[in-house]
Amino acid sequence: MSIKTGDRVRVIAGKDKGKEGKVIKVFLKKDRVIVQGANKVTKHKKATQNQNAKKGIVEEEAAIHISNVSLLDSSKDTVHANKRENANK
């Protein structure tokens, strides 16, 4: 997998198409990544004894499949594209 934690990526498919963000976490076995600010979902959290825990309705980032993001070039802010050897096929 070419995308690692801390890389800048752009979402290329789905409801957040076009958004850019930093990779927070990578799930290698599931081929999924969590991108900061993309694919927000609402979760209902139950109150616990921990005073610092979030409770109520909380928005969190959910995982996105790795095929739906593309790596951004840090110097030019352009998207890496895979080039085919035989384009005339």
pLDDT in tens, 17-66: 999 999 999 999 999 999 999 999 999 988 888 888 888 999 999 999 99
* 76: pLDDT strictly greater than 90: no
Question: Which SS3 state, helix, strand or coil, does residue 70 take?
Answer: strand
**Is residue 87 very low, low, confident or very high in pLDDT (cuts 50, 70, 90)?**
very low
* 88: pLDDT strictly greater than 80: no
> Among 1, 60, 53, which residue's Cα sits nearest to residue 26?
1
What whole-number distance in Å separates Cα of residue 5 and Cα of residue 76? 20
> Among 35, 28, 34, which residue's Cα sits nearest to residue 2?
28
Q: 8-71 has which fold?
A: SH3 type barrels. (2.30.30)
* 3: pLDDT strictly greater than 80: yes
What whole-number distance in Å separates Cα of residue 4 and Cα of residue 83? 21
* 89: pLDDT strictly greater than 90: no
What pLDDT was estimated at residue 85?
A: 45
Domain range annotation of the chain:
8-71
